[in-house]
Structure 1
Amino acid sequence: MHEISLPIASNGKRIWSFVIDDMVINFFLMIIFSSQMTALMSGVTEVNEESIALVNQFIMDNIAIVLAIKVLYHTLLIWQSGMTLGKYIMKIKAVDMLNGERLSFTQAFWRASVRLISEMFFYVGFLFAFFSPLHQTLHDKLSGCVVIDV
């Protein structure tokens, strides 16, 4: 079997990439939901049980859209180029661990899905990167990829 050597990205670059990507996704979400959020907030005059119930209902009504946008953002960009906007700015990319090539659509989708689950459970899957010699998160390990410097 042919062995390859890849320049593994640092945890610092990965953290900044994560922050940038979260800001980009949140910007998209603010645009998408701006009219709904404006209407919701105009009806809230004080914090009470009724206003909390309205906010909770808004979240429940839109959680599937938010989750779908996150998975689509990470799946499509990683599948196409190995880079999200955050990874592009930080000059890192996700590649297949065995051959250093672009991830398949299935790998990218699996990576994005496990990443989302890790986020929902207090980012535990992200902690793997601090204890892995290849700085792999849980979603990297399960999708068979590694994040490298470009």
Structure 2
Amino acid sequence: MNLEEILYREEIVLASIGRRAMAFLLDRILISFVFTLIYWNEFSALSGSYLQVVNFFYEVILQFLLLNFTYETLFTALYGATLGKIACKIKVISTSLLDHPNILFSCIRSAMKILGEYFIYIPFLLIYFTPFKQTLHDLLGKTIVIKYA
């Protein structure tokens, strides 16, 4: 039985692009807020010099990426959804198990999603050309995003 037949039989509905975009935006706001809280003292100490601000961001970019990666990976592996996805009532499921992806595929999905952001979101455009509304990180992580509730 192919994936389309399974989704139909199980009455699983794919998440809309709008819900996915809203969840993505909510997650970025949350990660930025947490990151700002963590580095509040350092942000406050910046004098406003452009060079000083740029140097600071070069120093902390890896921590930001690690925080983002950890958040995406753990929430996807444990719950099948990040907080943004939960708020938008969507979740990530494995195409083989129809349950949240295991830690390996969650890592692959998260890493590719973060890389996709740094390639001007071009890998995200695949969502318009794949039958199950999958982006590159969904395809490589062997996942789909569905509506629930």
Name the counterpart of 1:18: 24
Matched position secondary structure for 1:95: strand
Q: Which has the larger radius of gyration?
A: 1
Name the counterpart of 1:113: 111
Letter in 2 for 1:102: H
Runs of 4+ in structure 1 deviating by more than 6 angstroms, as ranges, are none
Judged with a 3 Å threshold, the aligned counterparts in structure 2 of structure 1 residues 33 and 149 are, in CA distance, closer, same or farther, namely: same
| Distance across 2 between alignment mates of 1:88 and 1:69 | 19
Q: Identify unmatched segments of 5+ residues in structure 2.
A: none
Letter in 2 for 1:13: R
| Distance across 2 between alignment mates of 1:90 and 1:133 | 22
Name the counterpart of 2:127: 129
| Distance across 2 between alignment mates of 1:115 and 1:123 | 9
Q: How is 1:1-150 mapped onto 2 (pairs within 5 angstroms)?
A: 4-5=6-7, 6-40=12-46, 43-44=47-48, 51-150=49-148
Cα offset for 1:130?
A: 2.0
**Percent of pairs identical after alignment?**
32
Larger displacement relative to structure 2 (61-70 or 127-136): 127-136
Name the count of aligned residue pairs. 142
Cα offset for 1:54?
A: 0.8
Cα offset for 1:67?
A: 0.4
TM (norm. structure 2) is 0.91
